Amino acid sequence: MNSVSPMTGEATPLALAVLSEIATALARLAETGEETTIDLKSLPLSPDDLARLGELLGEGEVRCDLEVAGRSEVRETGFSGVWWIRHLGLGDEVALEEIAITFVPEILHAHPDDVARAARRLAEAVTAPLADEEETPRG
């Protein structure tokens, strides 16, 4: 169940402005399917602004940690379709932080080439035991 955390303090004006932008983008996603990304690192958000925004958005049901060209964290907020994404660099410093308003974040989509390679590997894994059985004489 999605839940929004209660505010522990007064929301900052900048956090409220970003929240308003997210609300508009989420309505647009629901109506038209148009996705939006808000680059939090490009905004003059203080640590307090980010904390308040996190409290306002809350925690959702889905969380994914990825190890692809560095570590990334993807978590659903308390609002379906609103995802908080962090890409970490050296020393786990936040290199990129964004809010993605989308049904599923792009970073979670399997690349078609990866799927094709996986299909070949799985087909080989399925046929390898069958080939072993054919070569083994039964007594």
Residue 21's pLDDT is 98
- What pTM, to 2 d.p., does this model score? 0.80
What torsion, rounded to 10 degrees, do the Cα atoms 94, 41, 55, 71 define?
-30
Q: Could you give all domains of the chain from N- to C-terminal order, each with its CATH number?
A: 13-108 (3.30.1370.140)
How does pLDDT run across 24-45, given as a tens digit for each residue? 999 999 999 999 999 999 999 9
Residue 7's pLDDT is 46
What value does the mean pLDDT take over residues 109-133?
Answer: 88
Residue 132's pLDDT is 63
* Residue 2 confidence class, pLDDT cut points 50, 70, 90: very low
What value does the mean pLDDT take over residues 53-67?
Answer: 95
* Residue 138 confidence class, pLDDT cut points 50, 70, 90: low
**Given the structure tokens 């970003």, which residue do they identify?**
18
Spatial distance between the Cα atoms of 122 and 61, rounded to a whole number of angstroms: 30
